[in-house]
Amino acid sequence: MLTPSNSDEARLQWFVFKFLNTLPKWDVGRFFNENPFAVETAEVVAAYSRRVPEQVAGVLREMAADGLVIEEPREQTSTYRLSEDGQLRALLAAFFLACDDREFRANMLHDVIERGG
């Protein structure tokens, strides 16, 4: 198993603290990493991540403000999809691939929790 280099780790750490700085955001990011072409409501993402829809709706709005996801308002609700920015998509995929390394994942989880996430 490959572990991220120091420069890769620093880049991924920046990405996490910018876009996935809470555990709910981490779960939503995982959903979109595993479903990069999904266009879903907060309720569907919440069911996938086993979180409360109201919490996920707030997380999705924050992630849309940050630019990682795109919010598409509809009549009754909004749908969300992953940003089309290739660099952000690549960083999201690289982050979850790096999480295959148990030590890296544990360190990132610890850092997010320590920062109040």
**Mind listing the domains of the chain with CATH numbers?**
12-112 (1.10.10.10)
> What is the enclosing helix (H) or strand (E) of 87?
helix 86-98
The mean per-residue pLDDT over the stretch 12-26 comes to 94
pTM to 2 decimals? 0.88
| Among 114, 98, 89, CA closest to 3 | 98
Provide the pLDDT for residue 116. Answer: 81
Q: For 60-86, how does the pLDDT look when each residue is reduced to its tens digit (9 = 90+)?
A: 999 999 999 999 998 889 999 999 999
Provide the pLDDT for residue 8. Answer: 84
The first and second tokens of residue 96, run together, are 């979850």
Compute how many other C-beta atoms are within 10 angstroms of the C-beta atom of residue 107: 13
